Amino acid sequence: MAASAVKEPIGISGAGRGGNGRGSFGGDGRGGGSSARSVPPQRTYVTGMGVALGGILMFFMALVSALVVRKGAPSGGWQALGTAHLPWRILTLDTLILLASSATLARAHNRFRAHDDEAFSHWWGVTAILGVFFLGGQLLAWRELAAAGMYLATNPSSSFFYVLTAAHGLHLLGGIVGLLAVAFYKTRRLSRGTAISVASLYWHFMDGIWLCLFLVLLAGNR
Amino acid sequence: MSAEQQSIGPVPHRVEAPQGFLRRYLFSTDHKVIGIQYFFLALTAVTVGIVLSLLMRFHLAWPNVHLPFINGGLMRPEQYLALVTMHGTIMIFFVLTTAPQGGFGNYFLPIQIGAADMAFPRLNMLSFWLTFLAFVCMLTAFVVPGGAPISGWTAYPPLSALGEVTGPGEGMGQTMWIVSIGIFCLASLLGSINFITTTIDMRAPGMTLMRLPLTVWAWFVTAILSLLSFGVLLAAVVLLLLDRSAGTSFFLPAGLSVNGELQMRAGGWPLLWQHLFWFFGHPEVYIAILPGMGVASHVLSNFSRKPIFGYRAMAVSLCAIGFLGFLVWGHHMFVSGMNPYSGLAFSVLTLSIAVPSAVKTFNWLGTIWGGKLQFETPMLFAIGFVSFFVTGGLSGIFLAQPALDTVLHATYYVVAHFHLVMGVAAIFGIFAATYYWFPKMFGRRMSEPLGKLHFWLTFAGAYCIFMPMHFIGAAGAVRRYADDTGASYLTAFQPVHLFMTIAALVTGAAQLIFFYNFFRSLKNGARADANPWRATTLEWTTASPPPLDNFGGIFPSVYRGPYEYSVPGAAEDFIPQNLSPEQSMQGNEGARSGR
């Protein structure tokens, strides 16, 4: 007994002694158990992504509220792009592509859980390709707008159009890089399952952000 | 025999740190090394910031004295404005945001919750190096053609959005400023993700939310504020940069004429920037001050040998201040011509922050009331923190009222207010933290006599600088003027300016005592044991300085709250958080010696 007391001094790591004592955030302390001490539990990656999305949401909310405030500003001068200039056909198609990519991603995640690796790789790849299509569609929308003489500096309405789509496009490009990284790159600390969950969380979130941006752009340029 | 071996507290042994200078000290992923890197970055920045402020004070007192390092000898008004801009920016971003959160938060949050490191160590390293890059970028503004920007730390458009036509420093200098702030935003966002995730997921068994030290609460709430506000500033500086470099008009209205040149922009709105900026800017004030509140609570309890008065109220009021901080940005814009009803709403919300602030203040007083006070240097600085927070906060009640703010807004009254409440108070929080945790961080103790001398000179000096500033402000002295000798009603304030400048020079010189004490103690200070302040929280249960994994291969468990001082019936007047109920009656030698 004395020997065990030497090895494990009191007040330290007593499993069950004092309970897991987790706060109201729930969960079970550090997860992986003592051997994994220096490695954070997998849950932290999901938490971290959730927190990061909070910051990203504020970034987009700042841009959108700037658009709303600017459009209603007393100084006036907002020239709506209108249905004539707003490339709404391409944007609608792009929205459908992105929605489809969320569906294929959910399918891939589902196949991963079912240990069907081949189907997982298939649907995961389809998602990335749809993401590339979406970005290509956004470029076409830019070209259409530029062809109509609406450039970045033409009017706040066109400026906001380019800034919002570019900001979202960059984030989605990061998402595609993330999808490829999950597919081709193995990490030491991050399990494959967690990596897939984190990448999915990000992708679905970017899908949701785009839906909101699309509605804002439609409403702001009527 | 077994009672002797049941030493309480961990028995740390060093886990090997990576070898080689680069991985160990420069590109380390250890939160303690990164914390120290942030601290030294802030120390460098504060030195630059103090020098800039002393140059301003010197010029205000002796506007006609030639300065050898200025081309032509006499300081031009735009050079003075460049000093104002760079002093404010460097102090707010690279000192008040960097030291308390990036420095001490990084070092002590993981240890205080019983974790081995931050949740994402490599992200943590990236945060620091981005902050460093931002600082280098900011300093480059001094040496680019045209020099440093002159638009203030708030960079209001249209003048900040048009480029060189609006003055020297508004060309390349302003661009460097914007890029630097953009990088700083990214760094702060990444840092806050780490702080929040670590607090949520990495707490030791038994470390419930209501057992967190108030320092951890403060860093946690501060990180949430950073996460929600820096994204907004990032969006704002992206738009401002586009206005400058891509010809857009987010903030630029039509028909603008600058220096006789008509600007061919249209459709923008300068107030949009003010809304975005202050939506970040007000939470930023709390990002600077909340960690100081946490440290003050922690230190006051420790050196009063009493539990903190109203722990739960302290935690809730931190959250309340953080929440309300997002609803009051308009009080910076009372003079922008806003709707009086909006002004009233912002005013009422601002005044309501007095409630959680008063809760904190009275709880601090309640904590030291009847305590066995020990006036060590950290305690003095914590009391100083409360003093400056109250004095600076009280003038905030006046400024929160639109009618009064309209009169006082452009005067030194505002300068005095925010310097006391967020500048000096936050710096005192940083000093309290430095003197308190120095033994833990470096394994040595700072000199107490020099620390006390530093405290009294700084305490008296800061009041001598900023109290008279209220009076000349209320009398109508306009802020941001480079020279008050031109108009007769301003000349009347000149003796007060002289007094404040002398006070500033003395206070600035007193900081040399701190620097001497700090660097001398690094090498020659008396060796510190694991728990020199006889404190309760987890960082004092491990060696000084802590081993690489903080607790030397041991996983602490937590059995009690963070401030169990002078518990009746206990063998000693403090009970460490990792002491189980059975051992608390037997004394805490093990926890104190940390071996």
What is each CA distance from B157 to A64, A152, B257, B277, in whole angstroms? 20, 19, 13, 11
Residue B449 has pLDDT above 90, yes or no: yes
Integer Cα distance of A176 and A174 in angstroms: 5
Answer whether residue B502 is part of any domain: yes
Q: Does A54 contact B at CB distance below 8 Å?
A: yes
What is each CA distance from A106 to A123, A176, A204, B245, in whole angstroms? 9, 15, 9, 41
Tell me the residue range of the domain where B310 lies: 31-253+266-593
Answer whether residue A147 is part of any domain: yes
Residue to test with chain A: of B269, B559, B564, most A Cβ within 10 A: B269
Other residues' Cβ atoms within 10 Å of the Cβ of residue A174: 13
Q: Which residue of B has its CA nearest to A73?
A: B269
Predicted pLDDT at B590: 47
Answer whether residue B489 is part of any domain: yes
Picking from A13, A61, A73, the nearest residue to B269 by CB comes out as: A73
| B256-258 vs B261-263, strand pairing mode | antiparallel
Per the structure, how many domains does chain A have?
1
Q: How far is B575 from chain A (nearest CA, A)?
A: 12
- Which residues, including other chains, have CB under 8 Å from residue B494's CB and lie 6 or more apart? B61, B484, B485
In sequence order, what E strands does B173-310 have?
Answer: 256-258, 261-263
Are B246 and A43 in contact (CB < 8 Å)? no
| Beta pairing partners, B527 | B444
What is each CA distance from B135 to A144, A177, B69, in whole angstroms? 41, 29, 23
Tell me the residue range of the domain where A146 lies: 39-71+83-220
Answer whether residue A60 is part of any domain: yes
Q: Which residue of B has its CA nearest to A22?
A: B208
| Beta pairing partners, B478 | B411
Are A156 and B203 in contact (CB < 8 Å)? no
Predicted pLDDT at A39: 60
- Which residues, including other chains, have CB under 8 Å from residue B246's CB and lie 6 or more apart? A152, A153
Answer whether residue A111 is part of any domain: yes
pLDDT along chain A (222 residues), means of 10: 34 32 35 44 94 98 95 81 87 97 97 95 97 98 94 92 97 97 86 94 98 95 85
Tokens 């006390």 identify what position? B452
Q: Does A30 contact B at CB distance below 8 Å?
A: yes
Residue to test with chain B: of A28, A47, A209, most B Cβ within 10 A: A47
Predicted pLDDT at B68: 84
Tokens 């900026």 identify what position? B277
* DSSP state for residue B444 in the 8-state scheme: B
Residue B197 has pLDDT above 90, yes or no: yes
Per the structure, how many domains does chain B have?
1
- Which residues, including other chains, have CB under 8 Å from residue B52's CB and lie 6 or more apart? B83, B86, B87, B90
Q: Could you tell me if B256 and A57 are in contact, meaning their C-beta atoms sit under 8 angstroms apart?
A: no
Integer Cα distance of A88 and A94 in angstroms: 10
* Residue B329: pLDDT band with limits 50, 70, 90: very high
What is each CA distance from A108 to A94, A112, A123, B231, in whole angstroms? 21, 6, 5, 31
- CATH, residue A167: 1.20.120.80
Are B196 and A51 in contact (CB < 8 Å)? yes
Residue to test with chain A: of B29, B120, B200, most A Cβ within 10 A: B200
Integer Cα distance of B23 and B286 in angstroms: 34
Q: Tell me if the pTM is above 0.90.
A: yes
Residue B19 has pLDDT above 90, yes or no: no
Q: How far is A69 from chain B (nearest CA, A)?
A: 7
Q: What percent of chain B has pLDDT over 90?
A: 85
Partners of A20 on chain B (C-beta within 8 Å) are: 205-206
Are A153 and B246 in contact (CB < 8 Å)? yes
Predicted pLDDT at B585: 64
* Residue B22: pLDDT band with limits 50, 70, 90: confident
Predicted pLDDT at B300: 98
Residue B30 has pLDDT above 50, yes or no: yes
Q: Does A62 contact B at CB distance below 8 Å?
A: yes
Residue B15 has pLDDT above 70, yes or no: no
Query: Quick one: which H or E segment has residue B248?
Result: none
Integer Cα distance of A12 and A15 in angstroms: 9
Other residues' Cβ atoms within 10 Å of the Cβ of residue B67: 15
Q: Does A82 contact B at CB distance below 8 Å?
A: no
ipTM here: 0.92
Report angle CA B208, B211, B217 to the nearest 5 degrees: 95
- CATH, residue B498: 1.20.210.10
Amino acid at B47: T
Are B9 and A30 in contact (CB < 8 Å)? no
Tokens 């404010």 identify what position? B88
Are B6 and A34 in contact (CB < 8 Å)? no
Q: Which of B130, B106, B275 is nearest to B138 (CA)?
A: B130
Picking from A2, A61, A63, the nearest residue to B2 by CB comes out as: A2
Q: Does A35 contact B at CB distance below 8 Å?
A: no
Amino acid at B341: Y
pLDDT tens per residue, range B545-563: 999 999 988 889 999 999 9
Residue B201 has pLDDT above 60, yes or no: yes
Q: How far is A113 from chain B (nearest CA, A)?
A: 24
Answer whether residue B11 is part of any domain: no
Q: Could you tell me if B251 and B243 are in contact, meaning their C-beta atoms sit under 8 angstroms apart?
A: yes
Answer whether residue B224 is part of any domain: yes
Picking from B10, B231, B254, the nearest residue to A9 by CB comes out as: B10
Are B554 and A1 in contact (CB < 8 Å)? no
Integer Cα distance of B10 and B30 in angstroms: 20
Predicted pLDDT at B588: 57
Residue B266 has pLDDT above 90, yes or no: no
How many residues are there in chain B?
595
Answer whether residue A15 is part of any domain: no
Q: Which residues of B347-377 are buried (b: 16+ CB within 10 A; e: fewer)?
A: bebbeebeebbebbbebbebbbeebeeeebb
Partners of B575 on chain A (C-beta within 8 Å) are: none
Picking from B189, B242, B557, the nearest residue to A18 by CB comes out as: B557
Q: Does A100 contact B at CB distance below 8 Å?
A: no
Are A27 and B120 in contact (CB < 8 Å)? no
Are B578 and A11 in contact (CB < 8 Å)? yes
Residue with the larger pLDDT of the pair B468 and B16: B468
A-B contacts (CB, under 8 Å): 211
Answer whether residue B21 is part of any domain: no
Residue to test with chain B: of A45, A58, A81, most B Cβ within 10 A: A58
Q: Which residue of B has its CA nearest to A30?
A: B202
Residue B84 has pLDDT above 80, yes or no: yes
Q: Which of residues 178-197 of A touch B (CB under 8 A)?
A: none
Residue with the larger pLDDT of the pair A20 and B447: B447
Picking from A48, A54, A75, the nearest residue to B119 by CB comes out as: A48
Residue with the larger pLDDT of the pair A73 and B164: B164
The three state secondary structure string of chain A is CHHHHHHCCCCECCCCCCCCCCCCCCCCCCCCCHHHCCCCCCHHHHHHHHHHHHHHHHHHHHHHHHHHHHHCCCCCCCCCCHHHHCCHHHHHHHHHHHHHHHHHHHHHHHHHHCCCHHHHHHHHHHHHHHHHHHHHHHHHHHHHHHHCCCCCCCCHHHHHHHHHHHHHHHHHHHHHHHHHHHHHCCCCCCCHHHHHHHHHHHHHHHHHHHHHHHHHHHHHCC
Answer whether residue A32 is part of any domain: no
Amino acid at A115: H
Q: How far is B576 from chain A (nearest CA, A)?
A: 10
pLDDT tens per residue, range B578-590: 998 877 666 655 4
Are A38 and B117 in contact (CB < 8 Å)? yes
Mean predicted confidence (pLDDT) in B373-388: 98
Mean predicted confidence (pLDDT) in B492-521: 97
Predicted pLDDT at B511: 98
Count Cα neighbours of B537 within 13 Å in the Cβ-side half-sphere: 28
Predicted pLDDT at B304: 97
Predicted pLDDT at B553: 86
Predicted pLDDT at B583: 77
Mean predicted confidence (pLDDT) in B568-585: 86
Predicted pLDDT at B589: 53
Picking from A57, A70, A77, the nearest residue to B266 by CB comes out as: A77
* DSSP state for residue B246 in the 8-state scheme: T
Integer Cα distance of B391 and B428 in angstroms: 14
Q: Is B566 helix (H, G, I), strand (E, B) or coil?
A: coil
End-to-end CA distance of chain A: 79
Burial (CB count within 10 angstroms: exposed 0-12, middle 13-18, buried 19+), residue A75? middle
Residue B305 has pLDDT above 80, yes or no: yes
Partners of B13 on chain A (C-beta within 8 Å) are: none
Picking from A34, A47, A55, the nearest residue to B555 by CB comes out as: A34
Q: Which residue of B has its CA nearest to A6?
A: B5
Query: Quick one: which H or E segment has residue B53?
Result: helix B31-61
Picking from A37, A152, A167, the nearest residue to B248 by CB comes out as: A152
Predicted pLDDT at B9: 38
